[in-house]
Structure 1
Amino acid sequence: MTRAPAPRLVATDLDGTLLDAQGRVSARTRAVLDALDARGVPVVFTTGRPIRWMEELWDDVGGHGLAICSNGGIVYDVARREVRTTRAIPVEVLVEVAARLRADLPGTVFAVEKTTGFAKEPDFMPRLAVNLAPDVPTAPLEDLVDGDVVKLLARHEDHEPEPYWERVAAAAGADVVTTWSSTGTLVEISAAGVTKATTLAVVAEEMGVGAAEVVAFGDMPNDLPMLEWAGTAYAMANAHPTVRAVADHLAPHHDEDGVATVLSELFDLPR
C-alpha cells in the first residue's frame, strides 16, 4: 500500500494543544519541531495569544520565523521581532459592536489587544497576573481604541460561559468574528473575516502550499475554522466537544505530547 505524502506545512495551536499543562514545549515536542525544521517543513504557531505572551516560545517556531497571533489578527516575523501584517477591527465597528453588547448584556466590560499591548476598562478583571500590572492602560473603551485593535475582549462576571458566548455571538452579528479559547465567561472578537484559518491561508499561499497539504492541530472553538480549512485536521483528546466533532482525527492528550506523537508518525521520525 502506498503511503500518503507527508504534509508540507504544520499549523498548531499552543495552549491545550502543543504545550503541556505547564504551558511549555516538552523535550520530546522540541525534538520533533527541530527534526521538522531540519527537513525544511515549516511549523506555524497559530494562537489566540498576543505577541507579548510569546517571548519564551520564539525559539521553538523554527527557521521560517513566522507565527500567527491574536486569532489571526497578526502575522509576526520572529527573526525581525516585528509585526509583519495586521488585520485590525475598524474603530467604528468596534464601538458599535460594544454598544450592542452593553445593550443586550448589561454589565459586559471590555479590554483590547493592540499591536502596542493590552488595555482595559476599569471593571474588566483579567485572570492572568500579566494583565493586572499597574501600568496597564485603564479607561473607558472609547478612550482605548487609538491604534490597531486586533482583538476585542468581552467579559461578564454574572453569566455562565457557554450561554454568554452564544448571546454575544448573536448580538455582535456578522460585523465581527466571535470565538473563545478559555473556559471562562470571555469572548474574543476579531474583525470580520479574520480567523486563524483565513490568515493561515494567506501565509500558506505565500509559501506555495495548498490547504490539502496542511496538517492542523487544535483544541478549542477558536481553532474550528483552521481545522475545517486544513487538508488534515486533528483534535486533541482533551479538546472541546465541538472541535472533536469537526476534526478528521484524534490526537493524544496535550499533556502526553499528542502533537509530537502524531507528527512522528506522519513524518516517519525516529521515536
Structure 2
Amino acid sequence: MDPTAAPRPDVPKLVATDLDGTLVKLDGSVSEFTREVLVKLEEIGVPVIFVTGRPLRWTRELFEHIGSVGLAIVSNGALVWDVAADEARLTRLIEPALAAEVAGALKTNLPGLAFATESLGGWACEPEFAAHISDARRPAQRNAAIEELAEEPLIKLLARRHDHDDADELLAAAVAVVGDLVNVTHSSFPLLEISAPGVTKASTLELVCTELGISASEVIAFGDMPNDLPMLTWAGTSYAMADAHPSVVSCASHLAPGHEDDGVARVLAGVFGL
C-alpha cells in the first residue's frame, strides 16, 4: 500500500495523533519534515490534536507544535489542557474511594505491585516504585503508601511489578481483577495505566470533537500501542504505525511508515496534498 495515498475521497477535518512511538522519534524529538507538515496543516485550517498517555509535565515540551486549536489530550483522556490559557479545560478524575478500592484489589490479587499517582498537583509514588527515566529530572513530590496517596482525586493511577516484564500479561491479569471498575491499559513497558471508568483517548476526543462540530467520520487518527485502540476504533480513518503493537496493527484500517521514518507526516502530506 502506498502510505501517502488518500484512504477515502473526502478529506478529514481533524488529525488526532499519539506522540511516543507515533509522531515523535525515539529520542523524543520532532523532525523538521514533521514540523513543516504540522505548520502547513495549520495554514489550511486543519486542527491537529495530540492525544497522549503522557502526563502533562512530559507533554509541555511539545506544546510549541500545537496549532490554533490550542488543546492537548493527555493522560489517556483524563485531562484536556488549554495550552494558551495554561489551564485545564476538562478533567475526568478517579474519585478517592474508587482509587483505594482498585489499589486494594490489585494488591490482593497481584502481589508485588508498587503504585504511583498522577494528580493536578503533580505525581507521587510509593517508596518502592521505580520511576520512569523521563522523571529523572522531576522527582516525585511525595513518597507514601498508596492508601495515603489515593486520598485525593487522581488523573491516573499507575502500577508496576518489577519482576514482571510482559506488559500484555500484566494488563490481562489486572483487567481480570478490576476491569469492571476502571479503564486499564498500557502504552509500552509493563506499567499499568488506570483511568476513571469510561475514560479513554477516544471518549475524551469525542467530547472535544463534538465541541468543535466534527464527527468521528471526519477524524484521521494515528497510534501504536494498546492505549490507542479505542481512539483508532472510533475515528473514521485510522493508521497504525509500521512498528506498532500487533493488536494495533490488527485494529487500524491502514498502516503508516514507522515513527523513525516520519510516518505520520508522510501520510498526512499525501492525504492533504501538501
Partner SS state of residue 18, structure 1: coil
Q: CA deviation at 1:173?
A: 2.4
Name the residue aligned to 1:189.
194
Contact between 2:123 and 2:140, CA under 8 Å: does it hold in 1?
no
Partner SS state of residue 24, structure 1: coil
Unmatched segments (≥5 aa) in structure 1: none
Q: Give the one of 205, 221, 245 matched to 2:226.
A: 221
What's the TM-score once normalised by structure 1's chain length? Answer: 0.95
Name the residue aligned to 1:66.
71
Residue-by-residue CA offset, 1:113-163 (whole Å, 9 max, x unaligned): 111111001111112252575553110112113443111001001223222
Q: How does 1:157-168 map to 2 (within 5 A)?
A: 157-161=162-166, 162-168=168-174
CA distance in 2, matches of 1:244, 1:30: 25
Q: How does 1:86-125 map to 2 (within 5 A)?
A: 86-125=91-130
CA distance in 2, matches of 1:132, 1:148: 25
Name the residue aligned to 2:243.
238
Name the residue aligned to 2:27.
22
Q: Give the one of 237, 251, 258 matched to 2:256.
A: 251
Unmatched segments (≥5 aa) in structure 2: 1-7
Q: How does 1:105-184 map to 2 (within 5 A)?
A: 105-130=110-135, 133-134=138-139, 136-161=141-166, 162-183=168-189
Q: CA RMSD in A?
A: 1.3
CA distance in 1, matches of 2:145, 2:158: 13
CA distance in 1, matches of 2:161, 2:70: 37
CA distance in 1, matches of 2:271, 2:140: 46
Partner SS state of residue 20, structure 1: coil
Contact between 1:73 and 1:195, CA under 8 Å: does it hold in 2?
yes
CA distance in 1, matches of 2:180, 2:112: 22
Q: Which one-letter code corresponds to 1:100 in the other structure? A: A
CA distance in 2, matches of 1:182, 1:225: 16
CA distance in 1, matches of 2:184, 2:101: 15
Contact between 1:118 and 1:131, CA under 8 Å: does it hold in 2?
no
Contact between 1:18 and 1:257, CA under 8 Å: does it hold in 2?
yes
Q: Which one-letter code corresponds to 1:164 in the other structure? A: L
Residue-by-residue CA offset, 1:56-87 (whole Å, 9 max, x unaligned): 21010111100000000000000111111100
Partner SS state of residue 40, structure 1: coil
Name the residue aligned to 2:56.
51
Contact between 2:125 and 2:140, CA under 8 Å: does it hold in 1?
no
Structure 1 stretches of 4+ moved >6 Å: none
Contact between 2:91 and 2:155, CA under 8 Å: does it hold in 1?
yes
CA distance in 2, matches of 1:96, 1:209: 37
Q: Give the one of 17, 23, 26 matched to 1:12.
A: 17
Residue-by-residue CA offset, 1:27-48 (whole Å, 9 max, x unaligned): 0001000001111111000000
Partner SS state of residue 201, structure 1: helix
Contact between 2:78 and 2:199, CA under 8 Å: does it hold in 1?
yes
What's the TM-score once normalised by structure 2's chain length? Answer: 0.94
Contact between 1:126 and 1:132, CA under 8 Å: does it hold in 2?
no
Residue-by-residue CA offset, 1:214-269 (whole Å, 9 max, x unaligned): 00000000000000000000000010000000000000010000000000011000
More displaced 10-residue stretch of structure 1: 84-93 or 228-237? 84-93
Q: Which one-letter code corresponds to 1:177 in the other structure? A: N
